[in-house]
Amino acid sequence: MKELVGTTGLIFNEPLLWEKGAKGRIGFSLPRRDVDPCPLDDELKGDGPDFPDLSEQDVVRHFTRLSQWNFGVDSGMYPLGSCTMKYNPKTNERQASLPGFAGAHPLLPAELSQGVLKIMFDLEQYLAEITGLPAVTLQPAAGSHGELTGMMIINAYHKAKGETRSKVLIPDTAHGTNPASAALCGFKSILVKSNDQGILSPETISEVMDEDTAGIMVTNPNTLGLFEENIKKVADIVHSKGGLVYGDGANMNAVMGIVNVKKLGVDVLHLNLHKTFSTPHGGGGPGSGPICVTEELERFLPVPRVIEKDGKYELSEDYPESIGKIHAFYGNFGVKLKAYSYILSMGANLKKVSQLAVLSANYIKESLKGVFHLPYDKPCMHECVFTDKNQEANKVSTLDIAKRLMEYGFHPPTIYFPLVVHGALMIEPTETESKEDIDHFIETMKAIADEAKKNPELLLEAPKISKVRRLDEIAAARKPCLCG
């Protein structure tokens, strides 16, 4: 095997800023005042906030040292399944930080915001073209927020028809936030089991779909990394009973430029700009979860809407059937700018993005099957799912494999999800990793599987070289400390 990426290099300890400061230290200089001082009354001023006194050096070293404790997409491979943690081109950051965008105030009138409004208008058109769904809102601030907005629109659609429906079908291979989004709109979630191929069967949908069901929430490709081959038949069954199809587009990275979502029968689709369209997320920044809908549902989209009128752009609230406003101002604009830049940079190569993402995942699947148990041995999309079944005899679990992988210098994949697979190891390499890096990951996984047979203690005691060792995750879940 090649030299390990991981190392036992020096990691600095670092106290809290309140423990570092010393009275009288200062790290900045205020400009000279050009007005007379006007001190506040003591009653108004109070004691003031408890800020530590720090020099510039204290601050710089503090955050530099903390950054060395972290791992991110700029550090190395981040193969989180169902999350699409791919490398983010830095040119997108540059465009988003241009002064005219970064300094734009959300309360400026439309005539002083034409550039910003045009970008939002154009981005909506691009997303409509990519998905095949003609109407778009950029307001939702995250994927889960997009889910909620989509379900609010489905709810509004049924109410506009004078119907009250109480249920939503949710496959066992859907993303975990789907039931919560349905519940927030007053729907009861009905679990639908996938078949032995890991996908939905039309027969199963026929058995549970009725006139009291608002629709179905389908993640496609699903959380097993498999394309729902029967999606059109499923959609037809749902539509025949007056229901709507919600598409969870978190895994759009697998099908950009390849699939027309509208032709699959999807009525509402959310997108994660912070995943598919390559902007930092997780620990790296906020998200953005636009939704795309059919012509029939356009009238329910949140207001204000960005419209073009006489060659100018403006925000319009003239949509009486709208579900209303779902975000202050217009979402996380910086994330939209990065996605806009990414789409313009890639152009028609967005299709190649998905092709390479699928190729990478299938390469890993074929390379590791036999070493790790593969519950669904068929072509996958952007991610593949293994289990710890082959390691169980040596009392090595999925968690042990993930902890050992950290010592080799890789971020662990998603573990124990999806729940339909016991001991799941869910791997998504994305299209941004080179073959050399993927080969190194494959070699590492094989080495860990070999250790599980010959020296399982290495896995059971891992990690030993990280900043912290194994945490008491059960206590953290049952008794979380939320006070900092």
The Cα 353–Cα 381 span in angstroms is 12
Please give the average per-residue pLDDT across 145-159, as a whole number: 97
| In a domain? residue 39 | no
Apex 404 CA angle, 401 and 405, nearest 5: 85
| In a domain? residue 106 | yes
| Contact by Cβ (8 Å): 120, 138 | yes
Structural domain boundaries enclosing 114: 70-484
Kindly tell me if the per-residue pLDDT of 47 is higher than 80: no
Kindly tell me if the per-residue pLDDT of 484 is higher than 60: no
How many angstroms from the chain centroid is the CA of residue 197?
26
Q: Where are the alpha helices (DSSP H) in 46-85?
A: 56-67
Q: 285 pLDDT band (50/70/90 cuts)? A: low
Give the predicted TM-score (pTM) of the model. 0.91
Please give the average per-residue pLDDT across 5-34, as a whole number: 86
How many angstroms from the chain centroid is the CA of residue 403?
23
Please give the average per-residue pLDDT across 305-331, as a whole number: 94
* Residue of higher predicted confidence among 163 and 4: 163
Q: Considering the chain, what percentage of its residues have pLDDT values greater than 70?
A: 98
CATH of the domain at 251: 3.40.640.10
- Sign of the Cα pseudo-torsion (364, 368, 374, 379, in order): positive
- Sign of the Cα pseudo-torsion (335, 336, 337, 338, in order): positive
| In a domain? residue 55 | no
Q: 136 pLDDT band (50/70/90 cuts)? A: very high
Please give the average per-residue pLDDT across 413-438, as a whole number: 96
| In a domain? residue 191 | yes
| In a domain? residue 41 | no
| In a domain? residue 28 | no
By mean pLDDT, which of 168-182, 213-227, 458-472 is the weakest?
A: 458-472
The identity of residue 16, as a single letter, is L
* pLDDT tens digits, one per residue of 428-444: 999 999 999 999 999 99
Exposed, middle or buried: residue 438 (CB in 10 Å: 0-12, 13-18, 19+)?
Answer: buried
Q: 1 pLDDT band (50/70/90 cuts)? A: low
* pLDDT tens digits, one per residue of 75-125: 889 999 888 889 889 999 999 999 999 999 989 999 999 999 999 999 999
200-209 CB contacts, 8 Å cutoff, 24+ apart: 200/171, 200/173, 200/228, 200/230, 200/231, 200/234, 201/230, 202/230, 202/233, 202/234, 202/237, 205/169, 205/234, 205/237, 205/238, 206/237, 208/169, 209/169, 209/237, 209/238, 209/241, 209/243
Highest mean pLDDT among 138-142, 150-154, 471-475: 150-154
| In a domain? residue 215 | yes
- Could you give the number of structural domains in the chain? 1
Kindly tell me if the per-residue pLDDT of 217 is higher than 90: yes
Kindly tell me if the per-residue pLDDT of 43 is higher than 70: yes
By mean pLDDT, which of 71-80, 176-185, 238-247, 384-393 is the weakest?
A: 71-80
Please give the average per-residue pLDDT across 57-86, as a whole number: 89
Q: Residue 271 — φ and ψ, nearest 5°?
A: -120, 145
Please give the average per-residue pLDDT across 351-372, as a whole number: 97
